[in-house]
Amino acid sequence: MTHRFAAVGAVRDGLDSVQYLADEGIAGVVYLADRLAKPVLVEGPAGTGKTQLAKSVAEMCGARLIRLQCYEGIDESKALYEWNYKKQLLRIQTESQTWDDVSDDIFAEEFLLTRPLLEAIRATEPVVLLIDEVDRVEVETEALLLEILSDYQVSIPELGTVEATQIPLVFLTSNNTRELSEALKRRCLYLYIDYPDIDREREIVLTKVPDIAESLADEVARIVRSVRQLELKKPPSVSETLDWARTLVLLGIEHVDAEVAAETVHTLLKYRSDIERALKEFSTDEARRPGLPR
Amino acid sequence: MSVPAPPATTGGGGATTSPLLRLLGGFIAELRRSGLPVSLTEHLDAMEAVRHVPLDDREAFKFALAATLVKHHAHWRAFETVFEVYFSLRGAEYEPDGDAWADDVDPAELLDPRGDERGAGDPLSDDDLARLLFAALLRGDQAQLRAVAWRAVQRYAGMEPGRPVGGTYYLYRTLRNLGLDDLLERLLETIREQAGRPLTPLEERLERDEIESRIDQLRKDVEAEIRRRLVADRGTEAMARTLRKPLPEDVEFMHATREEMESLRKAIHPLTRKLAARLSRRRRHSSRGVLDFRRTIRQSLSYGGVPAEPRFRYKRPSKPEIMVVADISGSVAAFARFTLHLVYAISNHFSKVRSFVFIDGLDEVTNLFETSEDITEAVHRVNTSADVVWVDGHSDYGHAFGVFWERYGQSVGPKTTVLILGDARNNYHASGSWIMRELHRKARRVFWLNPEPRSYWDTGDSIMSEYSTHCDGAFEVRTLRHLERFVEKTF
């Protein structure tokens, strides 16, 4: 089997070229996913680019992205495949044949409606499969995924087993609202995408927000880091950082002071109590935090 | 737990006995001893994974292992510690780089930092080192910080081979000699001077955060350096054993160190989110009840009287009223804090939550939680503003229960679930257990959560069983894991 990437560095450069700044860990895991032919389970706080990673990898490889958005109550007919019941009915009604012919006939490929998972397996062109927010499905439904994740195949009782023509790259994302089962985790490589460190965040702002001055990007990254250190209900995510940076650029602001911060902070923080706390912390002189070096 | 010997590899040049695989086997065994659930499949995956990364790239190697072995973010720290111990000597950065020293430092002071062996004449005086440190912190020069850390450990830690002292002792000695305490202020002062104008509070704050993170980096560098030397001295296995720490969810409330408290505080937030999601999911799904005869008949009319579609009565989720009565005297305060935090975080599953705290007096703190949007802050305020001392500030359950019964007893009703948090160590006061009996009679359920191990109950001044006979359940809740299990089972 040929591999998609030559080295970890190649992955990172490739992701760079589609404007996704990967750190060592992210690039390394994507590379391993390709080499070991294993799916990647991506966890981390909301808005740190978990879904975007899958999209960017697809873009980098020139592959089609097949996305399965999980939700509570999703089942096989939505995730794997479904028989096209209406078409089967028509088939039975239109031709008067013996029962034997019909019963063999109506469970043919023609009557199969493929859903994302089966589609990814049967695709002949390169694909990236994204199973989004996998923590939303119930524990029992997780079992649906196991066969495809470990063996890249789907068993359909009437047709037999459909095996993958080529092994797709698979990404599962989870917001960690519940513990995923051991069985699922065991089959995956695990990647935790945390908030980026200050340098990477600055780079992200510089890449994603055109026309931003370097000094402003630096200020934005520093302020966001300080804000994240507060105990907030919802610390600002990367996408919110970007929103904020864009706002500042649109307003033609070159330098963030307390006043500007107070006026625009609502793009960064979404809870009133968080906003109040941040403003309080950053406008008083004596804002000494308890976490001073011991 | 016994550990299977590393299985034979899948090909890989007949490397069954290669030193790397043996090392990896030991590494994984140590991970398991630290409490990480590493399965055999994952072991095999890890061995497969390291074949695909260049072994001289330490970061890549680390991430390859992490991706295959660590499937839970909370386990990352434990992994990192074990990794440092097992693979620390092999990093390229073990020796500080000669180029790391800054250009603007007088080269005459420096010579070659690697040239002098331990104990040999050190060309740098203490002041020089302090100056270097200051300059490195001011500019945030990572490489130079690492070099300073290396030098500082060599000079100040006073490490001797075979000396049976823990790493924290060396860390303490090194940091004390570097004088980190006033460093922050001095650095800020310099920055203010450089700016040539007064800094706004915002700028000041940002600079402070920046410097703090650099100092933190220095501390980590020093720690890593000490660990490296200890490993070299004592060997990996012994070192791993001394560094083994419980995972956040296994830290005991009553014996947590400051650092562990911090990790607990970080862990509680995702935990509550998870619990809330799980509880509400269960509410929605366990809802099928008995057959609803009236609606089934009504539905059957559309099928000509055939009851083709049975209808069911949906269970109404019980929304109990919760009363939390928590002992917040010294030893069990942390436990009470975490439990209160958790209860309030899932409070939308209850029709009402009232909370009371006591030591020997008792005070209601419900309004602290209701007026504050932020649970953490409310919990903090409980400690400062509740009036809980009656006589001497030693726990007196009997008196506290008496006050509770007298003032709030009438609001305990058949919908109320009472949670009592405490170690039942009554300092030999009157027990007041008749109040528990009365509570048990009036309330729907009464639970007692005790942060002490069960084997300590009824020893010394603990009168747990006197109380627990009047409870629907008494639980040992020593760790977050216990707490989580209790909440999930009960509500």
Which residues have C-beta within 8 Å of that of residue A258, sequence separation ≥ 6? A282, A283, B200, B201, B202
Q: Are residues B388 and B306 in the same domain?
A: no
Torsion of CA B412, B415, B420, B426, to 10 degrees: 40
Which residues from A are below 8 Å from B10, CB to CB? none
Please tell me the distance from the alpha carbon of residue B340 to that of residue B119, in angstroms, as a whole number: 55
**pLDDT at position B96, please?**
46
pLDDT value, residue B137: 80
Residue numbers of the domain that contains B309? 290-317
Does any domain span residue B251? no
Where a domain ends, among B184, B209, B243?
A: B243
* Residue B22 to residue A245: CA distance in whole angstroms: 50
Among A145, A132, A137, A128, smallest CA distance to A43 is for A132
Packed helices A198-208 and A238-250: angle between N→C axes, nearest 10 degrees: 50
More confident residue, B409 or B97: B409
Q: Give me the residue from A182, A189, A282 closest to B205, CB to CB.
A: A282
Phi then psi dihedrals of residue B13, to 5 deg? 70, 40
> Is A185 within 8 Å of B285 (Cβ atoms)?
no
Whether B463 and B444 share a structural domain: yes
Residue B84's nearest CA partner among B51, B67, B61, B116 is B61
Are A118 and A54 a contacting pair, CB within 8 Å? no
Using the beta-carbon criterion (under 8 Å), do A28 and B64 form an inter-chain contact? yes
Q: Which residue of A has its CA nearest to B74?
A: A192
Buried b / exposed e along B420-429 (16+ C-beta atoms within 10 A): bbbbbbbeeb
Q: What angle do CA B311, B317, B320 make, to 5 degrees?
A: 160
Residue B313 and residue B354 in one domain: no
Q: Between B49, B59, B281, which is nearest A24 by CB? A: B59
Residue B289's SS3 state is strand
Taking every pair of C-alpha atoms in chain B, what is the biggest distance, in angstroms? 104
Instruction: Please name the residue that has the structure tokens 């600002």.
Output: A236
> For position A129, what pLDDT does the model report?
93
Q: B210, B243, B276: which is the final residue of a domain?
A: B243
How many angstroms away from the CA of A72 is the closest CA of chain B? 9
Joined tokens for residue A196: 């980026």
- CATH code of the domain in which B448 resides: 3.40.50.410
> Looking at the domain assignment, is residue B155 inside a domain?
yes
Q: How many domains does chain B have?
A: 4
Question: Nearest CA of chain A to the CA of B469: how many Å?
Answer: 35
pLDDT digits (tens, 9 = 90+) for B427-451: 888 888 888 898 899 888 899 988 8
Asked if B334 and B468 sit in the same domain, the reply is: yes
Q: Name residues whose C-beta falls within 8 Å of residue B89's C-beta, 6 or more positions apart in sequence.
A: B228, B231, B232
Sign for the pseudo-dihedral over CA of A198, A203, A204, A210:
positive
- Angle formed by the axes of helices A24-36 and B58-69, to 10°? 60
- Nearest Cα of chain B lies from the Cα of A109 at a distance, in angstroms, of 33
Inter-residue contact B128 to B147 (CB < 8 Å): no
- Cα–Cα distance, A274 to A264 (Å, whole number): 14
> Is B3 a domain residue?
no
3-class DSSP state for residue B417? Answer: strand
Which pLDDT score, from 0 to 100, does residue B174 have?
80
B138-151 pLDDT, tens digit per residue, is 877 777 888 888 88
* DSSP annotation of A129: E
Q: Find residue A48's DSSP bridge partners.
A: none
Q: Tell me the range of A224-233, B106-115, B268-277 where mean pLDDT is highest.
A: A224-233
At residue B287, the pLDDT reads 58
> Distance between CA B445 and CA B439 in Å, rounded?
9
CA distance B401 to B325: 9
- Indicate the pLDDT class of residue B4, thresholds 50, 70 and 90: very low
pLDDT tens column, B207-236: 888 888 888 888 888 888 887 777 777 777
Note the pLDDT of residue A191: 92
Residues of chain A scoring pLDDT < 70 = 1, 95-97, 283-294
In the listed set B87, B114, B143, which residue is the last one of a domain according to the structure? B87
Same domain? B186 vs B64: no
- To the nearest whole angstrom, how far is the Cα of A285 from the nearest Cα of chain B? 5
Residue B482, pLDDT > 60, answer yes
Residues B115, B229: one domain?
yes
Is B248 within the bounds of a domain? no
A244 compared with B2, residue with greater pLDDT: A244
Evaluate whether residue B387 is within a structural domain. Answer: yes
On chain A, the residues whose CB falls within 8 A of the CB of B379 are: none
Do B274 and A176 make contact, defined as CB atoms within 8 angstroms?
yes
CA-based nearest distance A188→chain B, Å:
8
Same domain, B100 and B27: no
pLDDT tens per residue across span B354-412: 888 888 888 888 888 777 766 777 777 777 777 777 777 788 888 889 889 998 888 88
| CA gap A28, A41 in Å, rounded | 14
Distance from the B468 Cα atom to the nearest Cα atom in chain A, whole angstroms: 33
Contact B369, B402 (CB under 8 A): no
Q: What is the pLDDT of residue B316?
A: 67
Q: Which of B36, B44, B48, B52 to mutate to test the interface with A (most CBs of A within 10 A)?
A: B52
Looking at the structure, tell me whether residues B173 and B308 fall in a common domain.
no
Q: How far apart are CA B332 and CA B192, in angstroms?
A: 44
pLDDT at B288: 66
Q: Please tell me the distance from the alpha carbon of residue A89 to that of residue B105, in angstroms, as a whole number.
A: 86
Check whether residue B419 and residue B323 sit in a common domain.
Answer: yes
- d(C-alpha A83, C-alpha A157), whole Å: 12
Q: Are B239 and B164 in contact (CB under 8 A)?
A: no
Write down the pLDDT at residue B285: 60
**Residue B256 included in any domain:** no
Q: Residue A261 has what pLDDT?
A: 82
Reported ipTM: the value is: 0.83
Dmax (CA) for chain A in angstroms is 89
> Based on the domain organization, do B348 and B435 belong to the same domain?
yes
Residues of B in contact with A271 (CB under 8 A): 373
Residues of chain A contacting residue B60, judged by C-beta atoms under 8 Å apart: 8, 24, 28
Q: Which residues of B touch A44 (CB under 8 A)?
A: 73
pLDDT attached to residue B373: 65
Q: What is the 3-state secondary structure (H, E, C) of A31-84?
A: HHHHHHCCCEEEECCCCCCHHHHHHHHHHHHCCEEEEEECCCCCCHHHHCEEEC
Whether residues B465 and B334 fall in one domain: yes
B237 and B345 inside one domain: no
Q: What pLDDT score does A56 carry?
A: 93
pTM: 0.74
CB contact under 8 A, A185 and B212: no
Q: Pick the residue from chain B with its C-alpha nearest to A219.
A: B206
Least confident of B115-124, B193-202, B203-212: B115-124
In a domain, B9, yes or no: no
Kind of pairing, strands A153-156 and B416-421? unpaired
Provide, rounded to the nearest whole percent, the portion of chain B with pLDDT above 90: 3
pLDDT in the model for residue B10: 41
**pLDDT at residue B167 greater than cutoff 90:** no
Residue B15 in this model has a pLDDT that exceeds 70: no
Per CB-CB distance under 8 Å, the chain A contacts of B181 are: 293
* Cα nearest neighbour of A36 on chain B: B49
